[in-house]
Amino acid sequence: MPSATALLSIDLQNDYLARPGLVPDRETLVAHCAALLDHARAQGWTVVHVRTEAQPGRAMPHRLDMPEVVAGSAGAEPPPPLAPIVGEAVVIKRFFDPFDDPALEALLHAQAVERVVLMGVHSHACIREAATSAYARGFAVAIAEEAVASDAPSHGELALEWLERRSMARAGITSLGAAAPPPEVWSHRDPTDTRNILWETGFTPRTKVDAMATELVAAQRDLGAMPPPERAGLLRIWQRLLVAARSTWVDALIADVAKPRRDAEGEVDYGLALLDEAIAEAEREPEAGVARHPHGLVALVTPWNNPFAIPIGKLAPALGFGNAALWKPALPGARVADLLLESLNQAGLGRWVGLAQGGAAIGHAVVANREVAAISFTGSVEVGRSIIAAAGLRAIPVQAELGGSNAAIVDESCDLDLAAADLAQAIFSFSGQRCTAIRRLVVLDPVYDRFAESLAEAVSALRIGKPIDADTAIGPLIGKSQQQAILGIVDAARRSGGRIRSGGAVPPITEPAGCWIEPTLVEAIDPRDEWSNREMFGPLCALYRASDFDQAVAIHNFGDFGLLGALFSADPSRQAQFLRSAQAGILSIGRARPAFSAAGPFVGWKASGFGPPEHGRWNREAYTRTQAIYGS
């Protein structure tokens, strides 16, 4: 690091930080930027705060109708941890490039600055412009990887890739000398447990991941050459170990991600079923005239909400078809991931699995590693699309499950009380922290009022309590940031004219971590409202009134998502119409939370999925390359 360094804080203003779809989210970004800012001040770096301010009638043409960062408004100010202190310069820009103000370059030269470090928003626009402009003026440029964000993350990722190829490198904040901010204390987690501390602390994330990938590629040759029955035999050893420790896994899910006991038991059973099916597929002979080859090294990125079943659903077929796996789990599930790796080691499979624990910098290093030949991802649309875009440049396949804003239709021909009881569980189990949770209910007008009353009664009967208790239906959310995000959506629903039918508040439970929200029903007005068409991932559901069945199907299909749809109707003609017209990869009649088959395809339409489905025979498409064979 040159002795004369400047930190440019770009557009870290409240309005920009409030934009939906920001990746990483506001809380994460602010924490990392604050850590880097503290380090810069401690080291005596030159600190410059760059802001956009819109004057009346002088906004950029594409922003004339956006009332953002108006000079003098609270939205134009930074959050308190990122506010300038006495002696730090503030540069105001109108467009993208902070060097449009010649005072910035003059200030940097006056301080003998040789290198600028960039943090802020947005990677695809102002960060890129600031980087190229600084580079053109002869400064070395480093982009603080965890301290930049974008509300168009796929474009942001491509911009950072482009900059890196032109010597404007990304750097983890710890490699720049800053201390990693403490991770969020997740609900129901022992705060003294240090296994969730960022894995990259003390070294460059890419260096560590690259070394791990090199070892895995070398080891994979043995696994790829191993006869399929032998690979299946190793998976059976793993299966026996997992089955024998079933209660241990249930307890781990309760302890680490606050999953209520009944949901934890269901996840463990589903994970074991996925493993059983993967073993059967690994043993199955390919079709005549076709050869299947492993990709080599596959990257697996898994979420925190199902930290047992989803990793098994990816690891088992990846290994069964002869691949080595570079696995990045979400941090709240870090301890479950450690335990799974230990079980893989005991089964003799661990040498082909590299566990990359950590935050966003590690995740990027995993999916960007040049040895990775295929990627399987489960997570948000924003992150998934950035992975898909980057993989497209390398022409490597991606299988992605990207969540949903799932809808169910209820008509006058069904048993309303049974439908209400089923839907209450489907909406609120695990506090709605499931990609398949129902988040929108469309009810035919003749029975709307009666059904809404029945549903409210069924929801009120769900017990809120500690996850360890067998009769708990509603446990806490994963952490404080998620709780605040859901409360923000409740406020947005109110502002749009929605009526809170039940819930909407924090119940009087103070431990662990106080992360509960009452199960919330919102009687909504406009199905086009943005708040009801995102993946809310919390105990919140919108109710809509439909005048007829065609309108109900149209509301069901509205929006970008298409993971799961359900219908409660005893009318055969409506069932047939729903199966013809519903735009979702998974459809269910009479059950909003069906028993998912481990042998069936798990698939999303529209923004909910990309690439081949997961599970069963479809895993062969994700984890092998096909080769046609002709002749004898």
Where does CATH 3.40.309.10 sit in the chain? 406-603
24 prior amide bond cis, ω within 30: yes
pLDDT band at 33 (very low <50, low <70, confident <90, very high): very high
pLDDT digits (tens, 9 = 90+) for 94-112: 889 999 999 999 999 999 9
Arithmetic mean of pLDDT over the chain: 91
Per the CB < 8 A criterion, the answer to whether 216 and 324 are in contact is: yes
Q: What was the pLDDT predicted at 172?
A: 84
For 404, residues 6+ apart whose C-beta sits below 8 A from its C-beta are 435, 436, 439, 535, 561, 562, 563, 564, 584, 604, 608
- Least confident stretch, 88-92, 124-128, 485-489, 552-556: 485-489
pLDDT band at 512 (very low <50, low <70, confident <90, very high): low
Per the CB < 8 A criterion, the answer to whether 406 and 437 are in contact is: yes
Residue whose token pair is 């040895």: 371
**CATH number of the 406-603 domain:** 3.40.309.10
Mean pLDDT over 266-288 rounds to 95
pLDDT digits (tens, 9 = 90+) for 589-627: 999 999 999 999 999 999 999 999 999 999 999 999 999
pLDDT digits (tens, 9 = 90+) for 193-225: 433 333 434 446 678 899 999 999 999 999 999
pLDDT digits (tens, 9 = 90+) for 561-574: 999 999 999 999 99
Mean pLDDT over 539-556 rounds to 97
Q: What was the pLDDT predicted at 391?
A: 93
Q: What was the pLDDT predicted at 194?
A: 39
> How many helices, marked H, and strands, marked E, lie in the chain?
19, 23
Amino acid at 158: L
Segment of 185-194, 283-292, 411-420 carrying the highest mean pLDDT: 411-420
Q: What was the pLDDT predicted at 184?
A: 59
Residue 70 in 3-state DSSP? strand
pLDDT band at 514 (very low <50, low <70, confident <90, very high): low
CA 116, 118, 122 angle in degrees (round to 5)?
150
Where does CATH 3.40.605.10 sit in the chain? 204-402+610-627
Separation between Cα atoms, residue 205 and residue 458, nearest integer Å: 48
Rg value, the chain, Cα: 25
Give the CATH number of domain 204-402+610-627; options: 3.40.605.10, 3.40.50.11600, 3.10.450.50, 3.40.50.12280.
3.40.605.10
Where does CATH 3.40.50.850 sit in the chain? 5-171
Separation between Cα atoms, residue 213 and residue 221, nearest integer Å: 13
Mean pLDDT over 497-502 rounds to 94
For 603, residues 6+ apart whose C-beta sits below 8 A from its C-beta are 585, 586, 609, 613, 614, 618
- What share of the chain has pLDDT > 70, as a percent? 93
Q: What was the pLDDT predicted at 456?
A: 96
Q: How far is CA 7 from CA 2, 44, 94, 618, in A?
A: 13, 10, 20, 48
**CATH number of the 5-171 domain:** 3.40.50.850
pLDDT band at 185 (very low <50, low <70, confident <90, very high): low
Residue 537 in 3-state DSSP? coil
Residue 578 has pLDDT above 90, yes or no: yes
Residue 239 has pLDDT above 80, yes or no: yes
